[in-house]
Structure 1
Amino acid sequence: MKKQFMPFITFITALLFIAAGCSQSPQAKETPPRMAAAAPAKKDGLPNVKILATGGTIAGAAPSKTSATEYTAGAIGVDALIQAVPEIKEVAHVSGEQVVNIGSQNMNNETLLKLAKRVNKLLKSDDTDGIVITHGTDTLEETAYFLNLTVKSDKPVVVAGSMRPSTAIGADGPSNLYNAVKTAAAPDAKGKGTLVVLNDRIASARYVTKTNTTAADTFKSEEMGYIGTIADDIYFNNIMTRKHTKDTDFKIDKLDKLPQVDIIYGYQNDGSYLFEAAVKSGAQGIIFAGPGNGSMSDAAQKGAVKSVKSGLAVVRSTRTGNGTVTPNREYEKDHLTASNSLNPQKARILLMLALTKTHDPKRIQTYFNEY
């Protein structure tokens, strides 16, 4: 008989005790990073995997086992997450570090830089063979793609989360965490860029997106497919061809802040005033989430052109959820970039990093074509 996960009665009791004493606000406050003990020597041949916790639903707690949508995100710490899945010690030496403890809707540029810098520092050490990052699902794909562009190592970096809090019946966090550690410990995971592991699937950070508000199988790579699957063993099926990690131009070690990039949504009867507001607020770039193939109304195009003349970079993306936004001569003459197959939120991540290197529309377009 296969070994099952440890019963969670004791763990859930502890979580309920924690939840009773914490605020019932939508999310917990940011906490300073807690340094973990040094990883043990690999006498048994197992790799050393570091878990960097940032909060989210996977660390959430609710007063009721039947509550899957009303809970406190980031209510528990990394040690409790690790203790809940003792089986991970069979695949890796695991140590944890709490970077922040927040709901991912509050993930910001400062925290992205802090996390990426910490990942790069850890991966430079021979004592770290792979990293797992626990994260809220709302903006998980954005953080994962940021790491895909800024991590300077071919060692595995795996981002994981859950759709149900740890106190819920059928909580998916323990299984996702186990699979994430197992993936980060797999030699074949090297060189594939940042990976996202949920629901027994391994996805590339470049292609995965959240597609459903509450379903456990919300993360999908609908057009491009998954990198791999997990069915007890790890199975890698596809190769990532886009440039990532060590092959990108982006170095964030000396960056203290990222350029402001805003997203404007296209719709019937839209206007140019949102572009004007972005310019006035100090934006250096704008992503336009247009209908269809990144189409723009006359009014929106007027606002975009005016923004470009004010020194901003403007990228056309699509609100459809799938497909490639193709170059268009009419928009190219106005120096409007096409996002290729990046959705608006990931296009924002790439444009922020691109603007740390250049404001040349042609070079920015190359980034979108290659990354």
Structure 2
Amino acid sequence: MRISAACMLALFFATTSFAQPAKPVVYVLSTGGTIAGSGSSTTDLSNYKPGAILGEQLVKAVPQISVIADVRVEQIVNVISSDITIDNLLTLAKRIHAIAKETPDVAGFVVTSGTNTLEETAYFLNLTVRTDKPVVLVGSMRPSTAISADGPLNLLNAVRTAISSDARGKGVLIVLNDEINAARDASKTNTLRVETFRSPELGLLGYVDEDQVSFYRSPTKRHTLNSEFDVTLLTQLPRVTILYSYIEPDATLIQAAIKSGAKGIVFAGTGNGALSIAEETVLKEVIAMPANTRPVLVRSSRTGNGRVTATTEYEAFGMIPGDTLNPQKARILLMLGLSRTSDPKELQRMFAEY
């Protein structure tokens, strides 16, 4: 009996198994925010409920993700990012550590977040996550129910970045609006526009386009695997306060911060971290306090761009210049630094290296 070529081909495919290549494993850790927000109408872009949707729903709403990755979703918390806590950040860092240890073949991590404090979450993880696997922060400026919601594509691009071999070792990344920024450099710069995350003069790291994930530079400051900060056993961090400078500031807030238990104060100074005579007058009283009772003082700037450099005037107060870190990121670094030491020279070293 003759068997036709077509039958032989059909028999071959029926009896031969073809192993499909395993898709890279990505963990999506969800924390809420606008990307998980829901409004009463498709044009409701401001009055919506953040964190109304769970991470599982976010991923399922973008079926293209399952084509490129084996995604495993965990809900860490579900809040507007303005309400996220240091305890939540510690939980995030510890969970990423645990997953990296339990699942060594994990390709990367995506953290969905509200955008209001996303930059602080990203920088905290940049300093505390001890892995070279990509950790990507993603959010959106429009809720999931809005016309032209930006969350779905942002999430897909975040997963694409997390599985990119070129993203490995570059520290924690922020991916929105098809752009990749470094956690240390980027900040939210606009209240409503989708292109809100910018790294002022230092610039973005790359793009996520339809054809590929492209990087053009790498961060140079210490981060992730090369960081000295270990939060494994920490349950809280020292309290650090930010005080904003302006014309005729209320300098009594400095003493109020100390009385409330602040171990460090970051000044959002004018220009190159400058303070007023009123603030300096109170600081003279502060530096007269016993060394073990006075807070560590850091100068940052309210300008949003540029370095804060050391000056003779402020070195006399023992103040640490914050370099290019904005006040909220300087606070994150100071809290982590104070969890290790209160030595001003060591803390100054950290601000120079991170």
TM-score, normalising length: structure 2: 0.91
Q: 1:361 corresponds to which residue?
A: 344
Separation in structure 2 between the aligned mates of residue 307 and residue 175 of structure 1, nearest angstrom: 50
| Residues 165 and 279 of structure 1: CA distance in aligned 2, closer, same or farther (over 3 Å) | same
Q: For residues 142-291 of structure 1, what are the structure 2 equivalents within 5 Å? A: 142-232=120-210, 233-291=212-270
Q: Which amino acid aligns with 1:243?
A: R
| Residues 48 and 305 of structure 1: CA distance in aligned 2, closer, same or farther (over 3 Å) | farther
Task: Report the 3-state secondary structure (helix = DSSP H, G, I; strand = E; otherwise coil) of the residue aligned with 2:265.
Answer: strand
Task: Report the 3-state secondary structure (helix = DSSP H, G, I; strand = E; otherwise coil) of the residue aligned with 1:79.
Answer: helix
CA contact (8 A) 1:271 1:303 kept: no
User: Is residue 2:65 matched to residue 1:88?
Assistant: yes
Q: For residues 28-67 of structure 1, what are the structure 2 equivalents within 5 Å? A: 44-67=21-44
User: Is residue 2:311 matched to residue 1:328?
Assistant: yes
CA deviations over 1:114-159 (Å, ceiling 9, x no partner): 1111111112222422100000000000000000000000000000
Moved more, 241-250 or 174-183: 241-250
Alpha-carbon distance, 1:299 to partner = 1.4
User: Is residue 2:325 matched to residue 1:347?
Assistant: no
Separation in structure 2 between the aligned mates of residue 271 and residue 359 of structure 1, nearest angstrom: 27
Alpha-carbon distance, 1:43 to partner = 5.5
CA contact (8 A) 1:54 1:101 kept: yes
Moved more, 302-311 or 173-182: 302-311
Separation in structure 2 between the aligned mates of residue 90 and residue 223 of structure 1, nearest angstrom: 37
| Residues 238 and 280 of structure 1: CA distance in aligned 2, closer, same or farther (over 3 Å) | same
Alpha-carbon distance, 1:305 to partner = 4.1
CA contact (8 A) 1:264 1:286 kept: yes
| Residues 303 and 119 of structure 1: CA distance in aligned 2, closer, same or farther (over 3 Å) | farther
Separation in structure 1 between the aligned mates of residue 223 and residue 22 of structure 2, nearest angstrom: 29
Alpha-carbon distance, 1:92 to partner = 1.1
CA deviations over 1:321-358 (Å, ceiling 9, x no partner): 10100011111121101000000000000000000111
CA contact (8 A) 1:279 1:307 kept: no
Q: 2:117 corresponds to which residue?
A: 139
Separation in structure 1 between the aligned mates of residue 313 and residue 128 of structure 2, nearest angstrom: 33
Separation in structure 2 between the aligned mates of residue 103 and residue 78 of structure 1, nearest angstrom: 14
Q: Structure 2: 5+ residue runs without aligned partners?
A: 1-18
Q: 2:282 corresponds to which residue?
A: 303
Q: Which amino acid aligns with 2:280?
A: Q
Separation in structure 2 between the aligned mates of residue 58 and residue 315 of structure 1, nearest angstrom: 34
Task: Report the 3-state secondary structure (helix = DSSP H, G, I; strand = E; otherwise coil) of the residue aligned with 1:94.
Answer: strand
Aligned CA RMSD, in angstroms, stands at 1.2
Q: Which amino acid aligns with 1:116?
A: A
Q: Which amino acid aligns with 1:293?
A: N
Q: Which amino acid aligns with 1:230?
A: V
Q: Which amino acid aligns with 1:175?
A: L
CA contact (8 A) 2:258 2:294 kept: no
| Residues 228 and 166 of structure 1: CA distance in aligned 2, closer, same or farther (over 3 Å) | same
Q: Structure 1: 5+ residue runs without aligned partners?
A: 1-41
Separation in structure 1 between the aligned mates of residue 303 and residue 168 of structure 2, nearest angstrom: 32
Q: Which amino acid aligns with 1:112?
A: L
Task: Report the 3-state secondary structure (helix = DSSP H, G, I; strand = E; otherwise coil) of the residue aligned with 1:129.
Answer: strand
User: What percent identity do the matched residue pairs reach?
Assistant: 50
Task: Report the 3-state secondary structure (helix = DSSP H, G, I; strand = E; otherwise coil) of the residue aligned with 2:38.
Answer: coil
Task: Report the 3-state secondary structure (helix = DSSP H, G, I; strand = E; otherwise coil) of the residue aligned with 2:106.
Answer: coil
Q: 1:108 corresponds to which residue?
A: 85
CA contact (8 A) 1:49 1:92 kept: yes
Separation in structure 1 between the aligned mates of residue 335 and residue 91 of structure 2, nearest angstrom: 16
Alpha-carbon distance, 1:281 to partner = 0.6
CA contact (8 A) 1:88 1:181 kept: yes
Separation in structure 1 between the aligned mates of residue 239 and residue 66 of structure 2, nearest angstrom: 42
CA contact (8 A) 1:272 1:304 kept: no
Alpha-carbon distance, 1:272 to partner = 2.2
